[in-house]
C-alpha cells in the first residue's frame, strides 16, 4: 500500500521569445505514483494556460510516457489515469493550436 503524501507542481508560460508571461505553483495530495503526479501537473498547466486566455500553446514535460499517452488518441484506458488523460484532451479544445 502506498503512503499518501503531496505533490508540488510549477508552471512557467513563455512567449516565442522566451519572455515569462505567467508563472504559478500549487501543492496537492498525492501518492508515490510519478505518472499520476505528471498527469496532475499537465492538467494544472493546461488549466492555467486556458484561464490566461492563451490560444497557441506548446506544453513540455520531461515525462515521455505521459506525452505518448496524450498523443495516442486510440487509448481507451478506464483507470483514473485514463480519465485524467481524457480531461487533458477535453482542455485542448480551448486552444486554437495545442501541442505536447
CATH code, 73: 3.30.420.10
Residues spanned by the domain of 24? 5-99
Summarize the confidence of residues 76-95 as an average pLDDT: 91
Check the CA dihedral 67-59-49-40 and report its sign.
positive
CA within 13 Å, CB half, 100: 23
Q: What is the largest CA-CA distance in the chain?
A: 46
For the full predicted model, state whether its pTM sits above 0.75. Answer: yes
Strands 97-99 and 56-58 turn out to be parallel
If one counts the domains in the chain, the total is 1
Task: Provide the pLDDT confidence category of residue 3 given band limits of 50, 70 and 90.
Answer: low
Amino acid at each position: 500500500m502506498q503512503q499518501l503524501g503531496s505533490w508540488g507542481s510549477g508552471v512557467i508560460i513563455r512567449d516565442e521569445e522566451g519572455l515569462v508571461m505567467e508563472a504559478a505553483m500549487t501543492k496537492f495530495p498525492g501518492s508515490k505514483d510519478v505518472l499520476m503526479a505528471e498527469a496532475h501537473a499537465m492538467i494544472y498547466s493546461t488549466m492555467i494556460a486556458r484561464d490566461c486566455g492563451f490560444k497557441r500553446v506548446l506544453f513540455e514535460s520531461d515525462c515521455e510516457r505521459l506525452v505518448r499517452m496524450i498523443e495516442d488518441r486510440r487509448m481507451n484506458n478506464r483507470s483514473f489515469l485514463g480519465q485524467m488523460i481524457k480531461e487533458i484532451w477535453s482542455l485542448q479544445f480551448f486552444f486554437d493550436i495545442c501541442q505536447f
